[in-house]
Structure 1
Amino acid sequence: MGKERLDRVLSHLGVGSRSEVRRMARAGRVKVDGQVVLDTSSKLDPERAHIEVDGTPLAYRPYFHLVLNKPAGYITSTRDKEGVPVTALLPASWQRPDWMPVGRLDKDTEGLLLLTTHGELAHRLTHPRWKVPKRYYVELEAPATPEDVEVFASGELSLDGEPLKPAELRLGPDPRRVELTLLEGRFHQVKRMFAQRGNRVLYLRRVAFGPLELPDGLPVGVARALSEAELEALYAAVGLVCGSR
């Protein structure tokens, strides 16, 4: 990549705002390649330079990605106009203005939510062209039936006058507890699909988004960074190369 201003790089890495970064540099707290840098308007190649703040090396990443086990009661947004946004769950060190939630989850829906700063990745993961599957665990008021399985798979259902893509419904030993895999994400789609079959969703949790599974042992309300293997698989699912991350 080309050269970037040091204050922009440090702000991108979450060190602080540009004004905060400038004050830190003037105090002698910032080093580049072993040398104290007082002027943060100086430019560098962030992928080659060795940057330290208060003696701690910083690894440059152009994009950031988190998987969050979303609890009920939070909205899939970065703003609080309609409720408490999911980003309020993140610790201070992960707070940044450019997070993008990938695929909406209703306020009362739990489970896997991907947060990324990579706009093209977010766009492809939710665009119908790439047919990225989303899998949900669903608890129902009444037992689902083999006929439901056939209807969901047939593509006969529609919402708002538009046909739905075929969906895979899996019945378990208890047909009130099922898994549903969708290739799209319409507004309240899971609830509305079962409502058309005369049933009601009591509980809903997303357990997978493409190749990304809800991590075992990740507590509700907690996020973690994606592993290298998860990133590789996620990028590959939408035809992107996961190079420098």
Structure 2
Amino acid sequence: MHWHEVVIRLALAIIVGGLIGYEREFKNRPAGFRTHILVCVGAAIISMIQVHMIEDTTKLIMQNPQLANALKADIGRIGAQVVTGVGFLGAGTIIHEKGSVKGLTTAATIWVVACIGLAVGMGYYALSIFGTIGVYGVLASLKKFEGKIFHKKNMVKIEIEYYNKKDLVDRVSKYFESKSIKVKNIEFSLEEEEIEEEIEEESICLRKSLYTILVPIYVKPGKIVQDLSAFEEIYKVTII
């Protein structure tokens, strides 16, 4: 392999790794721009080492045919070790927090970048370029459609201060159902707070409830606050 071919492959590995890493960095994920470049370049180097080993083994056998049965070059062994070994980086980006798992997509991109790096190092340029375009397209374009198709939900905590109305809980529950919002937990405060109502000039007792809800990605928390604040029984709505 000539030196200019090595430079081309390393440059391509930097470009494709950086492109995918940029998308992850832009979304403030644990593994970003430099990490993806390093993984891709490292995989490309490993695959080029294997290419060199195969070329050296082939030349040695051609010069010494009697060594044909003694020397063997396993084409896929080193690449398989890269694909398996890079998993520890992906595991480091996965975070378990508040009952949800984050970082799976970033872990997957690290693994894919390693595979693309192997393709670059082997000299499969078309496969590398089209693979990169496909991966970037999935990350950048399909995120908005994913929430609509699979109705992903975000966990939100909302504190509601309200007057002592018996039917308020039912009304709030019906509102959440109409928005496909799932109530995960409700905490009622036993303490009452007195406020001075300026209009009626009298003290009114308020109660508080803390709702932990799962909100579909297409529903904005600000819209929930706005809708609930319109209820007559509700004095104040706050996102915790």
Bigger CA radius of gyration = 2
Q: TM-score, normalised by structure 1?
A: 0.22
Q: TM-score, normalised by structure 2?
A: 0.23
